[in-house]
Amino acid sequence: MSYQTYDFMDCITAQKEIAPTVYGNLDLDFIPERFYDPLTAGSLLDSDLKRQSPHNTEDEILALFDEELVEFYRQQCLMGDPFADELAAVMMDEMGMQEGKALFHEASMHGVDRVKGAPQAMVDFFRHQERTPEWLDHDVIEGRNDRQRLVIACLFQVILRGGFLGVYENDYASMPMAITGGLSEKGAAKRIKDTTSMVRATVFPGAMRHGAVGYRMACRVRLMHAMVRVNLLRKPDVWDIHKYGVPLPQADTPGPVQYQTYPSALKCLREGREYNEQELADNLYHRYLTHLMGVHDFYAPINSPQKIVDKWEMRFATHRAKRDPERYRPMVKAALNCYLQPNESAWSQLVDHLDRSGAKHYYVNTVGEKPAAEYGVRSNVLNRLAFYAHAGLKFAEYAFVELVGNIPGGRNFRERYADKKLKSYLSDGAFDSMNTDTDASNYRVQEQT
């Protein structure tokens, strides 16, 4: 196999060759409903391009595109993660999940070369995962994570719940979640915890090196997504590929993986400057996370604010968004009501109350009063006060630990505190086993399209 990374423009051909079991006989020569062709479909002012864009006119946006690039974006709606998808199919059809998960965990811990009996699909997957890019500098990433560890440990929880509600804003991207469950508070809590564990896991010391916790988490998430994708593609009565494209496609993966790169690049452009050293380190972190998560190299952050903004603008302009409040209102309710604290102490219950109430303010403030109301979320002065009270507690916690950490001899306390805090919020088994639910038979259909 000649493919070692996702750096090709002809995604459909490559995908069929990498994952023939999944895509070999699948006709992908069509335009899915979710795709918007900016060269032929009409005014870009009617597309889903965010209006905070620095490109102020339709001509400026159109200048970003040519026919080859538009075709690439169409194919991104129909490209999954073929190395992971082929492995998922082999595990489901040939190996059995128990044996497959055991070999997969061993390979993620020790490298695929040390795994006896690994099928070729698993070897190909880990050859892709284990490749060390020439631009990678772990020391820079380590320094960046040292700065971010306490921030993530203390402050991430303030915006977590309210920010997660945004995943239900676009039916085209959210449909896999609607089909695979999450209507109960318990299910919503597990989904939020699993989703956000990636951010937390990757900031531990050395976490993104081969075999470490962040690396293993990335392997698991790729496989979990592939299980969902392959399972849904085999159910045409449930999954409408002509409407939604491939489940969890490359078109959607950059968003959650690179959530900070767009506002950071916009900030640089508005201030008329290039990246500073810390922003370059953030970009390197996200670029390597992009690689570990199986995202196409086209989206990998680079050291040009303008080019990063342009790529995000292209995504906004070519991928439609559609809100479906009736479908997602129960999921929003479950996400708002679920319990996310690591224990049930009186203090945790107080923080949870502030978090649930304050999340409504954050969500409404992010999407607007009318759109939020359509999903059953309204904010009042009590919600606003709860948000700022929750934020105040977390900032006070962060400031105290940071202050102690700057006292001679206090660094060990800061590191231990951040380590314990992060671990308390990680999904079960992140350090010791592969408990993420990758069994395709467990992705039950909750509702049909």
Q: How confident is the model at residue 177 (pLDDT cuts 50, 70, 90)?
A: confident
pLDDT tens column, 340-369: 998 899 999 999 999 999 999 999 998 899
Residue 323 CB contacts under 8 Å (≥ 6 apart), including other chains:
169, 170, 171, 371, 374
Residue 326 CB contacts under 8 Å (≥ 6 apart), including other chains:
none
Sort 405 into a burial class: Cβ within 10 Å, 0-12 / 13-18 / 19+: middle
Separation of alpha carbons 58 and 49, rounded Å: 10
For residues 318 and 329, is the Cβ–Cβ distance under 8 A? no
For residues 336 and 165, is the Cβ–Cβ distance under 8 A? yes
Neighbours of 105 (CB within 10 A): 18
Proportion of the chain above pLDDT 70, given as a percent? 90
Per the listing, tokens 């302009």 go with 317
Separation of alpha carbons 104 and 84, rounded Å: 11
End-to-end CA distance of the chain: 37
431/183: higher pLDDT:
183
Residue 168 CB contacts under 8 Å (≥ 6 apart), including other chains:
174, 177, 328, 331, 332, 335, 375
Q: What's the Cα-to-Cα distance from 101 to each of 216, 218, 248, rounded to whole Å?
A: 12, 15, 21
pLDDT tens column, 284-303: 999 999 999 999 999 888 89
Q: How confident is the model at residue 163 (pLDDT cuts 50, 70, 90)?
A: confident
Separation of alpha carbons 124 and 121, rounded Å: 5
Amino acid at position 345, single letter: S
Three-class secondary structure of residue 319 per DSSP: strand
pLDDT for 16 beyond 60: yes
Q: How confident is the model at residue 440 (pLDDT cuts 50, 70, 90)?
A: very low
Average pLDDT over residues 312-316: 86
The pLDDT, as a whole number, for residue 435 is 42
| Mean residue pLDDT across the chain | 87
121/198: higher pLDDT:
121
Domain limits, the chain: 142-169+176-208+327-431
pTM of the model: 0.89
For residues 405 and 150, is the Cβ–Cβ distance under 8 A? yes
pLDDT for 405 beyond 70: yes
For residues 257 and 295, is the Cβ–Cβ distance under 8 A? yes
Give which of 245, 198, 244 is closest to 218, Cα–Cα: 198
Kindly provide the b/e burial profile for residues 20-41, where b requires at least 16 CB atoms within 10 angstroms of the residue's own CB.
Answer: ebbbeeeebeeebebbbbbeee
pLDDT tens column, 111-149: 999 999 899 999 999 999 999 999 999 999 999 999 999
Neighbours of 90 (CB within 10 A): 19
Separation of alpha carbons 362 and 171, rounded Å: 21
**DSSP secondary structure letters along 135-185:** T--HHHHHHHHHHHHHHHHHHHHHHHHHHHGGGGS-HHHHHHHHHS---SH
pLDDT for 176 beyond 80: yes
64/400: higher pLDDT:
400
Separation of alpha carbons 415 and 407, rounded Å: 13
Name the phi and psi angles at 180, rounded to 5: -90, 10
Average pLDDT over residues 141-165: 92
Proportion of the chain above pLDDT 90, given as a percent? 65
Neighbours of 187 (CB within 10 A): 17
